[in-house]
């Protein structure tokens, strides 16, 4: 990692450019990419302020038609990955082995909470009626991560530190491992960044009610494995693994993972070289039932039962159906659980003549058994969109059906570039309805969030090379849909 960042040493003197777009006067930044965007027109790795992107008409499902009135406005925030970057249970060293471990470490991860707080401010400026948080709110199913994230969403004082008040992690300037970016000494230099991200701060909180969708990182250790007695002991313990033993490194290189393999690797303690850290009982790993209960309590929404399957209304014309597709044992990909198809069928019938938006963490097209749910949506003329997170990418695709079709939408994460939220406005048109959608950039007045954007942009794994921002048509668009009578 460090050699990649060293190649952009010229950015050190330009950091202020990426963080200075705080607006002012008539040019105040409200976060909407309809008004202004970040861009890198010459490809030098420096983000500049550019013009906004207009709504592009997308007519794959219906011709364009004049707007009559607004039916509902809501926002999506996804994949914030609020992380305890000092947690002993994290395995940053496997990130160097590539997929599927490329989310084990990011150079900007210590500022994840500040990015979420800056996104909250930008979303508030768009005045949504509701905010859907489509999963991976936290990174490692830890109690302190959830406390930080929900404090940001609800507003008030936020405690961003764990363990010791000093930074204890792989980005310390004393770490000789060249893989990790050390902001105190490596370009682009940000001296004191790690210390500043540990400080408490105040979040404005969301003005609109928020509705949780559960993701794999919310329920599983590092998003892949169920918590066990061994991982729970490590999480609150005093030793952190920093280098894998030869057998453990060989297993990581093989890219074969299973709960049994993990349990075997931990049977005789941490498999490799460790360093001491300050223990913290607040790092307790939450089991799925505990995490879901706390999300329901913090948001005031989420239904009941073992899964976070529920539905809610936005005004009188829109019904949102939330699906919990997270595996409970192991694996990051989504899965349709027994009885879920029948439950979804009932919810579609109960929606009546309201327009329907379905939300999940994993996209239905990627989930095991997802086609069984999509087949239900294909037959319902009131379904407008299926909205998801998980893939960290902005995308919009039409799904055609005999009753009108609907739009498959995914949204970028707040952890990887472009670190955006998404707005939706459902409008009635003379020919049916249209879903207007546009991206929202976190408030750049927060210097730590702006630094995070800069680092995320040049991150060789999650930044610009992966094109997670999508095309302009994947970001700001008007998605037309003809009206069909429910059979």
CA distance 378 to 473: 23
Q: What is the pLDDT of residue 97?
A: 82
Looking up residue 287, the CATH number of its domain turns out to be 3.60.21.10
What's the pLDDT tens digit per position in 76-93? Answer: 999 999 999 999 999 999
Per-residue b or e along 349-363, where b marks 16 or more CB atoms closer than 10 Å to that residue's CB: eebeebbbbbbbbbb
CA–CA distances in Å: residue 276 to residues 57, 83, 168, 173, 229: 56, 20, 9, 16, 20
CA distance 37 to 289: 40
Q: What is the pLDDT of residue 33?
A: 97
CA distance 295 to 146: 8
Mean pLDDT over 87-102 rounds to 85
Residue 28 pLDDT > 90: no
Residue 213's SS3 state is strand
CB 320 within 8 A of CB 313: yes
Categorize the per-residue pLDDT at 331 as very low, low, confident or very high, splitting at 50, 70 and 90. Answer: confident
Structure tokens, 363: 């996209």
CB 85 within 8 A of CB 107: no
What's the pLDDT tens digit per position in 276-318? Answer: 999 999 999 999 999 999 999 999 999 999 999 999 999 999 9
Enclosing domain of residue 320: 2-482
Considering the domain boundaries, does residue 346 fall inside one? yes
Give long-range contacts, CB 8 A cutoff, 24+ apart: 166-170.
166/195, 166/198, 167/86, 167/110, 167/194, 167/195, 167/198, 168/86, 168/240, 168/277, 168/278, 169/85, 169/86, 169/110, 169/194, 170/92, 170/93, 170/105, 170/242
CA distance 363 to 390: 7
Q: Which of 156, 159, 164 is nearest to 146 (CA)?
A: 159
Considering the domain boundaries, does residue 123 fall inside one? yes
Residue 2 pLDDT > 50: no
Considering the domain boundaries, does residue 48 fall inside one? yes
What's the pLDDT tens digit per position in 133-154? Answer: 999 999 999 999 999 999 999 9
Q: What is the mean pLDDT of the chain?
A: 91
CB 399 within 8 A of CB 408: yes
Sequence-ordered alpha helix ranges (H) in 136-245: 143-154, 193-197, 216-219, 229-235
What's the pLDDT tens digit per position in 397-451? Answer: 999 999 999 999 999 999 999 999 999 999 999 999 999 999 999 998 899 999 9
Q: Which residues have C-beta within 8 Å of that of residue 64, sequence separation ≥ 6?
A: 57, 478, 480
Any idea which of 180-194, 319-333, 454-468 has the lowest mean pLDDT? 454-468
Tokens 């459902």 sit on residue: 426
Going by the DSSP 8-state scheme, the letter that residue 479 receives in this structure is E
Bigger pLDDT: 256 vs 326: 326
- 478: enclosing H helix or E strand: strand 477-482
Question: What is the phi-psi region of residue 292: left when phi exceeds 0, alpha when psi lies from -120 to 50, beta otherwise?
Answer: alpha
Q: Which of 171, 187, 173 is nearest to 14 (CA)?
A: 187
Residue 29 pLDDT > 80: no
Q: Which of 97, 120, 288 is nearest to 203 (CA)?
A: 120
Q: Which of 444, 324, 371 is nearest to 30 (CA)?
A: 444
Going by the DSSP 8-state scheme, the letter that residue 425 receives in this structure is E
Residue 54 pLDDT > 90: yes
Mean pLDDT over 206-218 rounds to 98
Mean pLDDT over 256-271 rounds to 71
What's the pLDDT tens digit per position in 365-402? Answer: 999 999 999 999 999 999 999 999 999 999 999 999 99
Structure tokens, 318: 């829109």
Q: What is the pLDDT of residue 486?
A: 52
Q: Which segment, 3-7, 96-100, 116-120, 460-464, is predicted with the most confidence on average?
A: 116-120
What's the pLDDT tens digit per position in 201-210? Answer: 999 999 999 9
Q: What is the pLDDT of residue 27?
A: 54
Residue 321's SS3 state is strand
Going by the DSSP 8-state scheme, the letter that residue 460 receives in this structure is T
What's the pLDDT tens digit per position in 224-240? Answer: 889 999 999 999 999 99
DSSP per-residue codes, 68-131: EEEEEEEEEE----B--TT-TT--GGGGGG-TTSTTS--TTGGGHHHHHHHHHHHHHTT--SEE
Q: Which residues have C-beta within 8 Å of that of residue 38, sequence separation ≥ 6?
A: 18, 21, 47, 48, 49, 50, 418, 441, 453
CA distance 448 to 432: 43
Residue 267 pLDDT > 80: no
Residue 3 pLDDT > 90: no
Considering the domain boundaries, does residue 94 fall inside one? yes
Question: What is the phi-psi region of residue 127: left when phi exceeds 0, alpha when psi lies from -120 to 50, beta otherwise?
Answer: left
DSSP per-residue codes, 352-366: TTSEEEEE-SS-TTT
Residues in the chain: 487
Considering the domain boundaries, does residue 487 fall inside one? no
Categorize the per-residue pLDDT at 18 as very low, low, confident or very high, splitting at 50, 70 and 90. Answer: very low
Number of structural domains in the chain: 1
Q: Which of 190, 177, 35, 26 is nearest to 94 (CA)?
A: 177
């Amino acid at each position: 990692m460090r050699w990649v960042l060293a190649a952009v040493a010229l950015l050190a003197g330009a950091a202020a450019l990426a963080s200075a777009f705080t607006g002012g006067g008539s040019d105040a930044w409200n976060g909407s990419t309809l008004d202004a965007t970040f861009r890198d027109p010459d490809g030098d790795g420096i983000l500049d302020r550019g013009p906004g992107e207009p709504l592009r008409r997308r007519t794959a499902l219906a011709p364009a038609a004049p707007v009559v009135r607004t039916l509902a406005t809501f926002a999506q925030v996804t994949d914030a990955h609020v992380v305890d970057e000092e947690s002993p249970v994290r395995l940053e060293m496997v990130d160097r082995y590539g997929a599927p471990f490329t989310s084990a470490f990011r150079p900007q991860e210590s500022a994840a909470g500040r990015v979420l707080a800056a996104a909250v401010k930008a979303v508030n400026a768009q005045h949504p009626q509701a905010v859907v948080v489509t999963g991976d709110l936290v990174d490692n199913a830890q109690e302190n991560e959830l406390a930080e994230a929900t404090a940001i969403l609800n507003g008030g004082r936020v405690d961003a530190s764990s363990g010791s008040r000093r930074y204890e992690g792989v980005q310390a300037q004393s770490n000789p491992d060249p893989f990790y970016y050390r902001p105190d000494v490596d370009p682009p230099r940000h001296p004191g960044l790690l210390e500043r991200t540990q400080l408490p701060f105040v979040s404005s909180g969301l003005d609109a009610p928020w509705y949780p969708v559960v993701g794999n990182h919310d329920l599983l250790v590092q998003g892949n494995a169920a918590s066990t007695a061994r991982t729970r002991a490590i999480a609150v313990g005093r030793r952190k693994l920093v280098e894998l033993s030869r057998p453990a490194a060989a297993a990581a290189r093989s890219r074969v993972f299973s709960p049994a393999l993990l349990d075997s690797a931990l049977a005789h303690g941490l498999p490799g070289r460790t360093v001491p850290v300050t223990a913290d009982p607040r790092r307790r790993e939450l089991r799925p039932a505990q995490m879901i209960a706390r999300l329901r309590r913090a948001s005031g929404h989420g239904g009941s039962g073992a899964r976070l399957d529920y539905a809610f209304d936005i005004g009188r014309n829109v019904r949102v159906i939330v699906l919990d597709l997270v595996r409970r044992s192991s694996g990051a990909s989504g899965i349709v659980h027994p009885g879920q198809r029948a439950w979804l069928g009932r919810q579609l019938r109960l929606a009546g003549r309201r327009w329907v938006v379905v939300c999940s963490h994993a996209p239905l097209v990627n989930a095991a058994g997802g086609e069984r749910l999509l087949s239900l949506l294909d037959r319902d003329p009131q379904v407008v969109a299926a909205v998801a997170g998980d893939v960290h990418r902005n995308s919009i695709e039409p799904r055609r059906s005999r009753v009108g079709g609907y739009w498959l939408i995914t949204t970028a994460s707040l952890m990887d570039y472009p670190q955006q939220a998404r707005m939706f406005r459902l409008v009635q048109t003379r020919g049916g309805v249209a879903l207007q959608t546009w991206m929202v950039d976190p408030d750049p007045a927060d210097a730590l969030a702006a630094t995070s954007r800069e680092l995320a942009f040049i991150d060789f794994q999650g930044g610009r090379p992966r094109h997670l921002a999508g095309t302009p048509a994947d970001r700001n668009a008007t998605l037309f849909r003809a009206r069909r009578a429910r059979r």
